[in-house]
Amino acid sequence: MTAASVIADVHREVAHRLAGMEQRYTEGRRELIATLAAAVRPLSVPEILEVTTALPQSSAYRHLAVLIEAGVVARIATGSDQARFELSERLSGDHHHHLVCGSCGTVIDVDAFPRLERALDAAARLAEEESDFQVTGHEIDLVGQCARCRRA
């Protein structure tokens, strides 16, 4: 599958989900999705606006709210005032976790490697046993301090 066909599939899925909410897939929303799809890490709104320069800041926040509601964008809370955004795992098919710097808000993606996933599955089973709750998935953000902030 080529990169162009993958992004075309992403755009089709976003359009489908928005249509289900009676929302339009506008050019601004398309640009925002394309920016997040091309990013190698979760982006803050100022970082998104550096790439999508024609998109006003107020529109970016409104579009992100709708795209989060549609389940195609995920919001990652950070220790700083600025959240970061990425395509949702359901849309990207990329299961991963995050290391979040509680000082500067930097977010680093961590691949879901087998040893970590086994440990998380065991923790989920324990949570189910202790709470009579059925776990159907997990999202893990580990908060700490990045190398740059530790050196400062």
Q: What is the pLDDT of residues 23-32, one digit of tens each?
A: 999 999 999 9
Q: What is the pLDDT of residues 15-62, one digit of tens each?
A: 999 999 999 999 999 999 999 999 988 999 999 999 998 999 999 999
Cα dihedral sign, 42-33-64-52 = positive
Q: Where are the domains of the chain?
A: 1-93, 95-152
Read off φ and ψ for residue 17, nearest 5 degrees: -65, -40
Q: What is the pLDDT of residues 72-85, one digit of tens each?
A: 999 988 766 778 99
What confidence score (pLDDT) does residue 131 get?
Answer: 93
The whole-number average pLDDT for the span 115-140 is: 87
Number of helices and strands in the chain (H, E) = 7, 5
Looking at every residue in the chain, the average pLDDT score rounds to: 88
Same fold flag, 1-93 and 95-152? no
CATH topology for 1-93?
A: Arc Repressor Mutant, subunit A (1.10.10)
- The CATH superfamily assigned to 95-152 is Ferric-uptake regulator, C-terminal dimerisarion domain (3.30.1490.190)
Q: pTM here? A: 0.76
